[in-house]
Chain A
């Protein structure tokens, strides 16, 4: 087919099928067929994981039935389709298929959410030649779209879709010329996706848990820091509904990360915001970290459970059933209490007050010492100091030293990472990426070390909820014992790997990067 021929044209509003048929030459040249209704929903995770993998998932309902289809974003043939009538949420609910496997692989622990819906009517038209033979088929489309983000449906531009009939290219060309040149109808885009998303005010990757605040080096420290904190507040707020309704465990996770980063910014970006504000909100965000903790702990266990089962001998795997039930019951209780906290006046006031501070023209009280200094100096100084601290603490760690040393180092590494992430906008991207990667190796090792210990401790405390004398509980207690032993073995292994991980961080090359990026810029401001 000729590439210059459009796949469709946008029509003037209120251009009904009768007018279209008339324009095409009336009954002798055009036959109007059936009109059918359809609806279509796009799905992805809250953080667009399918889109990031170049995939698009949609569910089409029409008189032909309901089909869920996975397509490449780039266009082309669908990857797989399944008949599925209910609203897709968890991949496990979908029929066993390639589609399910592909979606599950990308989503991990995330649930599918509807992004937008399109409702429409499609009318078939046939353009006929002098023999009465169909030579081009057309579809007149009238569509509206809506989503949870808009109050009322948005009407999309009506359009006519051109479906070539094979072997009648000449007629197709003639009709296309008529539509584009004579009628001057503009080409319709080949794919509706962008138009639908724009209509409901969404766009791919409009949410990401990763930080990426654009800053300029000469912004004042106070302005830059508040901008970073506004970004964190927005992330935090966007995750509240999903956390409250427990849609998936990642909402709470992202909410907690945003809270932790906020607290870290408050304590690590020193003397930039007024001391009274810092002290007040440090304590109030500490409360939020605390009330969100219990559900997250249980989430971690429920997510880890399949791995725990796999680590036990086959004959013991079902011995964890009672633990799973126990975790679910505890989760239900903690989730209910978390929901209450998130809906409380205290939470509402925290967000409202914080919003006020971050958006106020001027901050109350004495301006902090470094508030008006350029952010480049303040940030560089903080990062450089934290880097030196990490080196000092890390170099002092011994293979058989106390676990606390590892925990302390982890806290410092996290502070360093957060500082770099907050202010990444003022440093060269490529070099920073290298730094974060090297730091992440150490952090992953320290994180594993600590998580395994925490999990082992928690499992021990869960075991106390089962009576070892009760013959029904005994296998569960024994399975937990086996798990704890396994976790502690892995923790030991993580400890032994530490030296290697840290060695890569503590390299001359890495040091050169830190020196180049932060040291000189920090020095200019050493009087602080």
Chain B
């Protein structure tokens, strides 16, 4: 099982759209995929038409009681794609995680028992840099970092890389440009400029597109309802690139179990 965290300190950079679309593509390719909506805003949960409610979620995060993630997983509308829904209690996640003996390892500990059931876990992370983020960095095999090509966004990227360096966190970080408007000179300049050597920048660029915004109306991934659109194609390219970087993701052919 591989774990990919979709993360940025900043909000509104296209994290949830990325997480939902690549999780959908992974599932479609035959990988048994779980997306965990860690953001109390519950956008990923909403997109996948599941109710944002997790029984005993506080106990799970605190490490109290016998509950397991396995009991709260919900299937999506798509083959091979399951969801761990968000819960409003996640707004206090830092406090809840802090009650564990090893507070920075709690998410990984919760995910481990699922390793036989899933090939891939996609974490849709809340913005900010906190105990939750550190849990994510420690659990993930790779971080995908959607970045709007603006000066402010680049600053938050530096903050993240500094933070990781300070904590000696070796998780590979793959940034990519998101919500890109090719007509804007600033976007073009930032993309052309050399990036921070501590993280690799993927080649795929996700364009700013209304079809991504429409995900909220359709309540489906772009890669499902309009896969041949520019954004749909861009997410496919992004997934292909990310999959190759992470490695070890050999799809199960769904029908195999029958034979």
Contact = CB atoms under 8 A, between A and B. Distances in A.
A60 B255 contact: yes
B258 A124 contact: no
Nearest to A159: B258
Given A64-B29, A77-B116, A83-B250, A134 B255 contact: no
Main SS class of interface, A: strand
A192 B258 contact: yes
Interface string B153-193: 00000000000000000000000000000000000000000
A30 B246 CA distance: 37
A193 B255 contact: no
Contacts of B258: 141, 161, 190-192
Nearest to A136: B75
A320 interface: no
B199 interface: no
A35 to B, nearest CB: 13
Nearest to A163: B79
A100 interface: no
Contacts of B116: 77
A354 interface: no
B75 A165 contact: yes
Interface in A57-97: 58, 60, 62, 64-65, 67, 69, 71, 77-78, 81-83
Contact of A78 (B72, B74, B252): B252
A133 B49 contact: yes
A64 B253 contact: yes
A191 B259 contact: yes
Contacts of A186: none
B4 to A, nearest CB: 20
Contacts of A71: 256
Given A62-B253, A64-B251, A167 B259 contact: no
A64 B255 CA distance: 11
B253 A134 contact: no
Contacts of A161: 258
A135 B72 CA distance: 15
A164 interface: yes
B77 A62 contact: no
Given A60-B255, A122-B255, A193-B259, A167 B250 contact: no
> Chain B CB within 10 Å — which of A122, A126, A131, A166 has the most?
A166
Given A191-B258, A193-B259, A133 B77 contact: yes
B73 A166 contact: yes
A166 B252 CA distance: 18
Interface in A133-189: 133-135, 137, 139, 141, 161, 163-168
Contacts of A166: 73-75, 82
B73 A58 contact: no
Interface string B61-89: 00000000000111111110010000000
Contacts of A391: none
12 contacts: A38-B255, A58-B259, A60-B255, A64-B251, A64-B253, A67-B253, A133-B77, A163-B79, A164-B75, A165-B75, A167-B73, A192-B258
Given A134-B76, A167-B73, A167-B75, 14 more contacts: A38-B253, A40-B259, A64-B253, A82-B250, A126-B77, A131-B49, A133-B49, A134-B75, A134-B78, A135-B75, A137-B79, A139-B255, A168-B74, A190-B258
Interface of B: 29-30, 49-50, 72-79, 82, 116, 250-253, 255-256, 258-259
Of all A-B residue pairs in the complex, the 10 with the closest CB atoms, nearest first, are: A165-B75, A167-B74, A134-B77, A166-B75, A166-B73, A60-B253, A192-B259, A64-B30, A133-B49, A192-B258
